[in-house]
Amino acid sequence: MLAPTIYLLSFRDASICAFFGSLIGAAGVSYIATFGPISGNRTLIFARYTFGWYPSKLIVILNLIVLLGYSMIDLVIAGQILSAVSSNGSMSIVVGIIVVAIIGWLITTFGISVFHTYQRYACIPQLIAYSVLYGVSSHNYDLASPSQGDSRTVIGNRISFLSLTLAAAITYGGAAADFFVYYPPSTVPVALFSISLVSLLCSFTFTYCIGIGLASGIASVPTYNIAYETSQGALIVAGFTDATSPRAFNTGFGKFLAVVVALGLVANLTPPTYSSGIDFQVLGKNFQKIPRVIWNTVGVVIYTVCALAGRGHLAETFTNFLALMGYWVIIWMGITLEEQFFFRSRFGFRVGIGNKEGRRGWGQSYDWALWDQPEKLPHGIASLIAFLVGWAGAILCMAQKWYIGPIALLVGEYGADVSFVALYFQIFIVVYLMTYHATLKD
């Protein structure tokens, strides 16, 4: 919904940016997912093989912020929808947030088998509801209005929105392997990558286009405008029930489908909630002594309190939070890619040292049994330096409401968030290669 309202983009421009942003982000997530079956380790256990025992804790903390932050956003949207469908708003957003938080907590409490079963079937009513939403609301989509601003400003807004959609997708990478650790090691990496990529790309693009379409109608459809002034969740309800649309449901059935969408956000809520419990344990051996269920409960309490406190500032939270969290994920993925393809793999360059036996297959150059032995893991100095330099590059290139970097400021009136472009990607690639070899000599 942010493309037409914040970035002033046309439906066509926003949809194209959303597709390519989702494609790049989903590709990164799918790559990380392939290490689940082959390693049997959680995602951020895998981070120890590049960042070492102590620097990897920084990655874990950042990922916890991502997981709990996403959960907070899902809770707020679900609460808004439930409040909008209630009679005259009799259910407050606060109550809606608490109801959905409890459901998400219950599903994640009973472990990954219940989680997988829920995820397998929860998508069916969601697909039906969103398909109906598209069918009944597409009549009101504004497909004709162009993007607003001069040519440089439009280009900057396109880049910024593409970066935002990329960030929304790629931040799932911090938990991608968690859900495949119980798959057999014989799972074909290419097959897992392909299935994950297609699934993520379709789901992201479909929902993005619906959100963009609904927001594009705000200026021309009075009921959409009124609903959006209430909340983003109310706009979704208006898409089902707007009386001016010849295909919309002006009955209880439309509100029922809106409730299905709201409860379906539990499907988005459960992966980060489940993974947050794992990530708390990854922080150290003392944290492992506390059961995952307790950590899941702590996570639910944290993001529920944050959702209650920030429920009136969703758009600002979404734009600022997502982009910032996406920066560290892409740096971590870039370092992981380098580690595998430059130093550990039979593919690409072989400029480092490695285990020749390990070069024979995907992920086989890692000794996965060393995950809890700090003295046998890399010290992570090269990765940490490259990570920090990458962040410095991101600061130069970011375009946020509260700060625009000097490089981002070169494009258009509002700047362009070019932090995901090869500029700072190349910075930390060079730094990592240099520091990697420097630390090998020590």
Residue 404 β-bridge partners:
399
Residue 226: how many CB atoms within 10 A of its CB? 13
Report the distance separating Cα 142 and Cα 83, nearest Å. 27
pLDDT recorded at residue 432: 60
What integer is the mean pLDDT of 38-45? 87
Report the distance separating Cα 186 and Cα 292, nearest Å. 28
pLDDT recorded at residue 301: 93
**343-370 per-position pLDDT tens digit:** 776 543 333 333 444 334 566 678 888 8
Residue 129 or 123, more confident: 129
What integer is the mean pLDDT of 399-414? 81
List Cβ<8 Å contacts ≥24 apart for 231-234: 231/80, 231/83, 231/84, 231/93, 231/314, 232/1, 232/77, 232/80, 232/314, 232/315, 233/76, 233/77, 233/78, 233/79, 233/80, 233/81, 233/82, 233/83, 233/84, 233/262, 234/80, 234/81, 234/83, 234/84
pLDDT recorded at residue 194: 94
Average pLDDT value for the chain: 81
Which amino acid would we find at residue 417?
D
Report the distance separating Cα 71 and Cα 55, nearest Å. 25
Q: Give the C-alpha distances (Å, rounded to integers) separating 128 from 125, 253, 260, 348.
A: 5, 13, 9, 44
Predicted TM-score (pTM) of the model is 0.83
Task: Indicate if the pLDDT at residue 132 is higher than 70.
Answer: yes
pLDDT recorded at residue 19: 95
pLDDT recorded at residue 108: 80
Report the distance separating Cα 103 and Cα 107, nearest Å. 6
Task: Indicate if the pLDDT at residue 320 is higher than 70.
Answer: no
**151-194 per-position pLDDT tens digit:** 888 998 898 899 889 888 888 888 888 888 888 888 888 999 99
**181-240 per-position pLDDT tens digit:** 888 888 888 999 999 999 999 999 999 999 999 999 998 888 888 888 888 888 888 888
pLDDT recorded at residue 112: 64
What secondary structure, in 3-state letters, does the chain show?
CHHHHCCCCCHHHHHHHHHHHHHHHHHHHHHHHCHHHHHCCCHHHHCHHHHCCCCHHHHHHHHHHHHHHHHHHHHHHHHHHHHHHCHHHCCCHHHHHHHHHHHHHHHHHCCHHHHHHHHHHHHHHHHHHHHHHHHHHHHHCCCCCCCCCCHHHHHHHHHHHHHHHHHHHHHHHHHHHHHHCCCCCCCCHHHHHHHHHHHHHHHHHHHHHHHHHHHHCCCCCHHHHHHHHHCHHHHHHHHHHCCCCCCCCCCHHHHHHHHHHHHHHHHHHHHHHHHHHHHHHHCCHHHHCCCHHHHHHHHHHHHHHHHHHHCCCHHHHHHHHHHHHHHHHHHHHHHHHHHHHHHHCCCCCCCCCCCHHHHHCCCCCCCHHHCCCHHHCCCCHHHHHHHHHHHHHHHHHCEECCEECCCHHHCCCCCCCCCCCHHHHHHHHHHHHHHHHHHHHC
